[in-house]
Amino acid sequence: MAPLTRVILYVRDVDRSAAFYARHFGFSVLHAPSDRITELVPADGGMRLLLHKAGKAQKLGQAAVKLVFDIEDIPGFCAAAKSQGLVFGSPHQADGYQFANAKDPDGNSLQVSSRAYREAANG
């Protein structure tokens, strides 16, 4: 079996996007001058994001993919993110968990969700 460990995001401004994910989601930024990809490493494990500069004709912000971040306290996280300039939509209540949606600087869909904590509690 091959685990899924990385996702490539095509972005217009790699430095701006790296700063966005570092600030709001705690990623460390790894970039070698000879590498065309900037790697974002999550602080507590999980999937790495690879940022690649998009071509001029490349369409960004597709709705077919959404990055989901596991957050236990959705309202608290959204309030803290808003104070730093990232505005999420209203939190939604689902079957035993909450979630809220936003977009990154290039229009990629993001979600914070407490679903993982519901599953852990329910086995």
CATH topology for 6-122 is 2,3-Dihydroxybiphenyl 1,2-Dioxygenase; domain 1 (3.10.180)
Of the candidates 38, 41, 42, the one whose C-alpha atom is nearest the C-alpha of residue 51 is: 38
* Domain residue extents for the chain: 6-122
Say if residues 102 and 88 touch (Cβ distance below 8 Å): yes
- pLDDT at residue 2 is higher than 90: no
pLDDT tens-place string over residues 75-119: 999 999 999 999 999 999 998 999 999 999 988 889 999 999 985
CA distance 18 to 16: 6
C-alpha 64/C-alpha 74 separation (Å) is: 23
pTM across the whole model? 0.81
Over residues 27-84, the pLDDT tens digits come to 999 998 888 999 999 998 889 999 998 888 777 776 667 899 999 999 999 999 999 9
pLDDT of residue 63: 60
Looking at residue 56, its pLDDT comes to 82
